Amino acid sequence: MLRILVVHGPNLNLLGTREPSIYGADNLDQINQRLRTRAQAGGAELVAFQSNTEGILVDRLQEAGRDGTGFVIINPGAYTHTSVAMRDALSAVKIPFIEVHLSNVFARESFRHHSYFTDIAVGMVCGLGAKGYELALEYALQAGERS
């Protein structure tokens, strides 16, 4: 059975109340629940994880390398633009991943235009709100069927 890990970075625990005009009205539990339900229907197991701390996120990505995770969907939040450590963790575990952003980072401040993840990702979805996670999941489920 394909095991998919969804990783949410800093401040994404505040979804629903955090700048809803940018990030939407859904809270993280609602998003994760929808993803779990869809993954289950697709015959996969989905585990969601959120932390505000870079080292804890690195630890979780390393664990994914040991626990049979076959695909990662990750929104690194602000660490997108700063974290060589999280990038290195993903390179080390060699698990295919999709980078997701709720907002269109390219339509925002210039410091959000650079990502430490995109060039090593399978792909990147941004600007589609919580739907972006669902589209990434559809891809992961199909990729899992092929492998």
- Where do contacts with ligand DQA occur on this chain (CB under 6 A)? 11, 75, 77-78, 80, 101-103, 105, 112
Location of structure tokens 């630890």: 59
Nearer to ligand DQA, 55 or 113 (CB): 113
d(CA 2, CA 82): 30
Q: Which is closer to ligand DQA, CB of 58 or CB of 105?
A: 105
Give the nearest distance from C-beta 53 to ligand DQA in angstroms. 14
Minimal distance, residue 56 CB to ligand DQA, in Å: 16
Query: Cβ closer to ligand DQA: 18 or 38?
Result: 18
Q: What one-letter code names the amino acid at 129?
A: G
Sheet strands side by side (includes 71-75)? 45-50, 3-8, 71-75, 97-101, 123-126
Residues marked active site are found at 23, 101
Q: Whole-number minimum distance, CB 109 to ligand DQA, in Å?
A: 8
Which contiguous run of DSSP H or E holds residue 35?
helix 28-41
**Phi, psi at residue 80, to the nearest 5°?**
-50, -40
